[in-house]
Structure 1
Amino acid sequence: MSQNRESRERLERPLIRLAKAVGVATSYVGMSNDYHEIADDVLVAVLAALGIDASNDMAISTSLKNLLDERHRRLTPPTVLHIEGAESKVPVHVGVFDIPQATITLEDGSEYTGVLEPDAGDGSMAYWMDDAFVTTASIVIPRDLPIGYHTLHVTVGDRTEDATLISAPKRIELIDAMKDHRLWGWMAQIYSIRSHESWGVGDFVDLGTMLTDAKAKTGADFMLINPVHAGEPVTPLTPSPYLPISRTFLNFTYIRPEAIEEYNLLGEESRTRVAQLHDSVRPLNENADHIDRDAMWAAKMQALWLIFKVGRSPERQAQFDAYKRAHGEGLEAYATWCLAYDKWGAPTASPSSWFRTTDRNSQPVQDLRNRYPDTLDFYRWMEWIASEQLADAQNAARKAGMALGVMADMAVGVHPLGADVWWNPDRYAKGATVGAPPDMFNQQGQDWSQPPLSPISLEKTGYEAYREMVHGMFAQAGAVRIDHILGLFRLWWIPAGMGAKNGTYVTYDSAVMLGILALEAARAHGVVVGEDLGVVPEYVASSLASHGVLGCAVEWFEQMDGAFRDPRKWREMALASVDVHDMPPCAGYLQYEHVKVRAELGLLEGPVEEFQASAEREQKAMLRMLVNGGWVSGECVNDVPGHIREIVEGMYRAMTASPCKLLAAAIVDGVGEVRTQNQPGTNNEYPNWRVPLADGEGNPVPVEGLFDREGMQSLARVLNA
């Protein structure tokens, strides 16, 4: 087509109308401004994943009518958004002569005493259903309604229906420390940074040490860490922190056993056993080649069981009981899934797997819980301990004077065989996964294997799953980074078996989801950063900015037509960094580590010489920008290998010239590491998420003295200038 839009004839087709009615895109414009119309079989499959039958003409007609009837049969949408300080109208479906009435129960259980005025409407949008016309009136929500998750009760005649009423701030306001200033911090893959007391993998106690040292020795105000969402209970453990079992709970493998209060109750024999277990994996701390999570957990889990079995004081037991009550069904979901995994083995996609043959109400599941009550409580207990130790790290950061402390990272989705999906399958689409359409970097598209949250379920449940997740993220953090924040607007759904190229976008109610972010951030006095790299539609960028969500600016990505943008022209509302975990650190990038790795792994579509030439052009363009800005000297251009440190620091000086409100320095850049943490397009071909922190000579770098190292101090001086 010559125009980037669908024809009138296509738009009038019932399948297209049905898809659009539920937010399924029937066309899209790609990264290169290339226009695509979605094939019918893809639309049918995506609609099926939403629980909508479009398998033939009759089914399409019936589904469209049922959809419209259901929307008009409800008095009001199941979830409605109100913006604090503004008057809003909630649509209500009524008979032609009906006038709606409403009351509000506030989040704390009290009744809202303000006046809710009805607006009868003019009947211009009447819909014929059940032998009568249905028209749209409204209820006016006053501007003084406080923020919170309230319940709206709407009455028309003898009918009353409830809706979740989310009252949110208009935007996320900058914290005081950022209003007239900017903050900087470090980026860390915490599992990769071990202390002498670690169990082979960095843990929450190591994080606390790094936070306090980073503030005391470099003046940093935050530390952006990898996602620490919940994982498997037993080995083998999934290395990727971006494929969690649950996004609501924490990865308890980060616990430090000796830091648990009940460790002090152990008898001599048990203490000796814990020490033996620790000693068995202590040498892993010196391994600069790879992280061995499985060996760590095989030892640490035995130590944790000993500490769990020693019991708790009445006061501590009361705290544990309060934690269990506060986290209710969600905790039961994860703990029960862990117990099933532990006793029945890893879940699989096989029809005979317990993941497929049972659910939370199955008798075998109840029998399992009854048979192993201690083990079930052990998994609850580890979550409690993990939340305590992460909170201790955050409290230590704040006590040290950090303005934000932990910046938590929220993954875009969950494992398809994880606890969240097993316990609440209705929250997720069935028969589809999330990914990305083809682009110049991934010509076949990307399939991330994660099932998407259903926008229909989100609306019907008052966005409960998303609310719980965001609230949990802010529980032990001063800021939250959201991976692929475009997913709050739309996600690329891929029907099972069709391949990543054959998908389409499904839209979400971004206003509601951003409203929830604003509400939770306001309550936590926190900051939200959205990973918005790549092609971002104008309406998305505008919405994020208006809601006070900071974007991301990565120096290596800030280029166009072969030239790098002057950092002084970057946007203010962003978290700036030089690099990211999906590429080598600066020292490695400057030495073409990315070319070497991709060539060795067979990830190049063309000749290696062609990719090398492209990388060299990119590096020259970067150096040109740095020299023109006065951030490096001209002699660096002629001898890059001899001036790696000067160039790296020049890149950071350029970044500090930007107006960005947050600046992030990578610890790997401070110590001279050259290896990438994650190589996209690979699994076990490359040790993704298993690369320990090392210096440029390959020596392991421990937590002790990390921020005293000259490279770290030098980089900190650049950021503090």
Structure 2
Amino acid sequence: MTMSQQHEESPERLARPLVRLAQSMGVATSYVGMSQDFHEIPDDVLIAVLAALNVDASTPQAIEQALERVNNEAAMRLVEPTVLHIVGSETHVPIHVGITDAPKATITLENGDAYTSDLVIEPLPDVKVHEVNGTFFSTAQLVLPDDLPIGYHTLHIESGDRTADATLISAPQRIPLLNPLKNGSLWGWMAQLYSIRSQESWGVGDFADLRTLLMNSKRYTNADFMLINPVHAGEPVSPLTPSPYLPVSRRFINFTYIHPEDIPEYYGLDDAAKQSIKDAHAKMETYNTDPKLIDRDAMWLEKEPALRTIFNAGLKPDRQKAFDAYKAQAGEDLEAYATWCLCYAKWGKPENDPNNWIKKYDKNSPEVQQLREDNADLLEFYRWLEWISVEQMHAAQQAARQAGMKIGIMSDMAVGVHPAGSEVWWNPERFANGATVGAPPDMFNQQGQNWSQPPLNPVALKESGYKAYREMVRGMFDCAGAVRIDHILGLFRLWWIPEGQPASNGTYVYYDHNTMLAILAIEANRVGGLIVGEDLGVVPSYVQQSLSEHAILGCAVEWFEQMDGVFIPPKKWRPYALASVDNHDMPPAAGYLEYEHVRVREELGLLGEDSRAFEASAKSEHRAMLQMLVDNGYLDVDVMNNEEGRWQEIVEALYRALKSSPCKLQAVSFVDAVGERRTQNQPGTDNEYPNWRIPLADYDGKNVALEDLFDSDLLQRITKIMNS
């Protein structure tokens, strides 16, 4: 990849057919890096990324043919497959019609009613006529009125003997702020759900624990929300993937979080069946108090048969009716996930092997259909697990709201899905084939990052009216009052890495962020919810402006808010943000203050020859943070000069500073409030470090049970700060 001091491509390069083709498909042909270094994308990368978009650019002739096809399709297409309208303003929609046609337009609203107001189609002056195969086309514009209601409608266009339907997305300009946020802020907790276990847990925190956490958070601390780790769907059998950010499907929920004893049918079991479940639960008691490691596989070994016992008991008519309604509403998406689970359970783990079922069969394969027929009961079990998951998470959210929480659950949306997961297997056309998502080189990762996740195909998104994305967002809001979107920059552009290339040899592919943000606005508006976008790192100014225009909150992390080695006092932060002291990719406050991040990276050999420099940098950062706390009156200077054994005072000062910020949402991490020192996830590692498997423990490494959590002295002091 070429790098130079210039910041734009030359006219000669821009005139090249390959460059013009790439740009017409939303593929960046250059970019400016984190250090303002300018890069031009090599031809082989452009060709490979275009191939992932199903565009052949392998030869000069193929490039010319592709350019001609793209231009002709644009000229001949009556209307784009997805049309965006902002409620309260007129929208002018280009339509491509024959020069002698008299086009007409109608709208069918989301509820099936016809939109009765007249729709005007205006000719455009000075429009060039485009000839395709002897037929002449010009451009007119349809005027969508400002009173079109919010929703996903169908726009129907007729022109001569041609007709076309488009998905018409009509969205509010902004997500309405909750009343308490208009002139103030709300605070809440951040929790890794799996790590917080009660006496009733099965070795891993579950949805019953979430319900208790939410209610007790309101009762004992007056918090109004809880940000939890992603709970997207995972595998049906062991080994279970620890990372919540590499899900099988973002559309569904991880059913390993089900609490069996909370299922209504549990209480109707006979004594023998109920005792078998109690015996299974008893085997997990020692796991509940282990402060060293979460063992999901041991949990699922006992919980899955218990759930089968409850499922086998059957449903009463009213419950069966509710289950049937859920299956009808979830539709083909549920069949995709349940079938994938069945294949996994019967044929084994998906592998990158041509003889493995994930490569050998698709959803239409006779072998898959036969497997479904032969195992109808197990297939229904996986559908049932999803229904129960939704019920229990929804019940937790309802309990939070009934307890008085203004928001309740804030769910976390991962960037993408596993390449061998159900979404990719069932609907491969939705994803780019031959590319993965990652990040370009920067000062933190000089080789770039490859996250091994296939990117959504922006062309397929538009052609389908963004249906898959709409359903995913709607599903998340079914069980939450807010959604945090990891790496929200991905709605604007994603770094695509061609298969077989290092992470540095990629390029950005752009998405229609206006439409995707509009979908977020619709779904949040429908439930009175909020959207938070994780926008940490280097984010283009237009991204922050667009998020602000939609009233989507960004993120501010106290340890990251610095400039040239000087920390920015929280009172000077932007209001539209979710503020926190730290996050899951760094040690909790107590550990960070004791250089846990330095120790772990040194032990794992992640620093190489830079270990001394990294340690010096960490100490300098530490000192600068304390200086900011002292300068702004959050910490006594005596503590800074004599830190030994006074970490709790510094943690409290960090939260006094956080409380002073104007940010609309402020979050306290449970790990900070109990003195935990270990990080949940060490970036740059896989099994070298127990990522996403650290149970909640205090400063001395002792297990903190849910029953004792709110008795913590430090937690109570931080709570007092946040409620001041």
Same fold (TM over 0.5): yes
Amino acid at match of 2:160: G
Alignment of 1:244-283 (within 5 A): 244-283=247-286
Amino acid in the other structure paired with 1:15: L
Q: Is the 8 A contact 2:5 2:38 kept in 1?
A: no
Does the CA contact (< 8 Å) of 2:413 and 2:484 recur in 1? yes
The TM-score, its normalising length taken from structure 1, stands at 0.99
SS at match of 2:156: strand
- Give the ranges of 4+ consecutive aligned residues of structure 1 lying more than 4 Å apart after TM superposition: none
Q: Which residue of 1 aligns with 2:209?
A: 206
Q: Which moved more, 1:121-130 or 1:373-382?
A: 121-130
Structure 1 counterpart of 2:681, from 665, 678, 681: 678
**Correspondence 1:712 to 2:721:** no
Q: CA deviation at 1:524?
A: 1.0
Please tell me whether the aligned partners of residues 78 and 96 of structure 2 are also in contact (alpha carbons under 8 angstroms).
Answer: yes
Counterpart amino acid of residue 552 in structure 1: C
1:321 paired residue number: 324
Residue aligning to 2:487: 484
**Aligned position for 1:135:** 138
Structure 1 residue matching 2:451: 3-state secondary structure: strand
What is the rounded CA distance, in whole Å, between the counterparts of 1:377 and 1:262 in structure 2? 16
- With normalisation by structure 2, the TM-score equals 0.99
Give, in angstroms, the shift of residue 341 of structure 1.
0.3
| Deviation (angstroms), 1:100 | 1.9
* 2:79 aligned to which of 76, 80, 89: 76
Which letter maps to 1:86? S
Contact 2:5 2:37 in 1 (8 A): no
Distance 1:125 1:643, change over 3 A: farther
2:381 is the counterpart of 1:378 = yes
Contact in 1 for aligned 2:558/2:658 (Cα 8 Å): yes
The aligned residue for residue 702 of structure 1 is: 705
State how far apart, in whole Å, the 1-side matches of 2:500 and 2:5 are: 31
RMSD of aligned residue pairs (Cα, Å): 0.8
AA of the residue aligned to 2:630:
V
Q: Distance in 1 between matches of 2:568 and 2:391?
A: 44
- CA deviation after TM superposition for structure 1 residue 626, in Å: 0.4
5 Å-filtered alignment, 1:631-642, equals 631-642=634-645
Q: What is the aligned counterpart of 1:87 among 74, 87, 90?
A: 90
Aligned to 1:535: 538
Q: Distance in 1 between matches of 2:638 and 2:18?
A: 63
Tell me, yes or no, if the aligned pair for 2:156 and 2:163 is still in contact at 8 Å.
Answer: yes
Alignment of 1:444-455 (within 5 A): 444-455=447-458
2:98–2:160 contact (8 Å) kept in structure 1: no
Residue 2 of structure 1 deviates from its aligned partner by 3.5
Is 2:322 the counterpart of 1:346?
Answer: no
Q: Report the more deviating stretch, 11-20 or 169-178.
A: 169-178
Q: CA deviation at 1:123?
A: 4.5
Kept in 2, the 8 Å contact 1:591–1:641? The answer is no
Which moved further from structure 2: 602-611 or 25-34? 602-611
Verify: 1:440 aligned to 2:414, yes or no.
no
Q: Is the Cα–Cα contact under 8 Å of residues 101 and 139 in structure 1 kept in the other structure? A: no
Does structure 2 retain, via aligned residues, the 8 Å contact 1:458–1:464? yes
Contact residue 490 and residue 508 of structure 1 kept, 8 A? yes
Q: Deviations over 1:622-681 (max 9, x none)?
A: 011000000000011122232100111101111111110000000000000000000000
Q: Report the more deviating stretch, 603-612 or 235-244.
A: 603-612
Does residue 363 (structure 1) correspond to residue 366 (structure 2)? The answer is yes
The residue aligned with 1:11 is 14
| CA–CA distance in structure 1, aligned partners of residues 722 and 38 of structure 2 | 43
Aligned counterpart, 1:392: 395
User: How far did residue 69 of structure 1 move?
Assistant: 1.3
Q: Is the 8 A contact 1:98 1:120 kept in 2?
A: no
Question: Where does the alignment leave 5 or more consecutive residues of structure 1 unmatched?
Answer: none
| Corresponding position of 2:619 | 616
Deviations 1:406-443 (A, max 9, x none): 00000000000000000000000001000000000011
Distance in structure 1 (CA, Å) of the matches to 2:238 and 2:126? 62
Which letter maps to 1:679?
Q
User: How many residues are paired up?
Assistant: 721
Please say if residues 100 and 120 of structure 1, whose CA atoms lie closer than 8 Å, have aligned partners that are also in contact.
no
Corresponding residue for residue 428 of structure 1:
431
* CA-to-aligned-CA distance 1:15-48 (integer Å, 9 cap, x gap): 0000000100000000111110001000000000
1:182 maps to a residue whose letter is S
In structure 2, stretches of 5+ residues that fail to align are: none
Provide the residue aligned with 1:235 in structure 2.
Answer: 238
1:67 aligns with 2:70: yes
Using the alignment, how far apart are the partners of 1:552 and 1:640 within structure 2?
29
Residue of structure 2 in register with 1:667 after alignment: 670
Could you tell me how far apart the structure 2 residues matched to 1:14 and 1:592 are? 53
Give distance in 2, aligned partners of 1:127 and 1:302: 65
Q: More displaced, 63-72 or 108-117?
A: 63-72
Which one is further off, 97-106 or 398-407?
97-106
| Aligned 8 A contact 1:485 1:530 in 2 | yes
Is 1:292 the counterpart of 2:292? The answer is: no
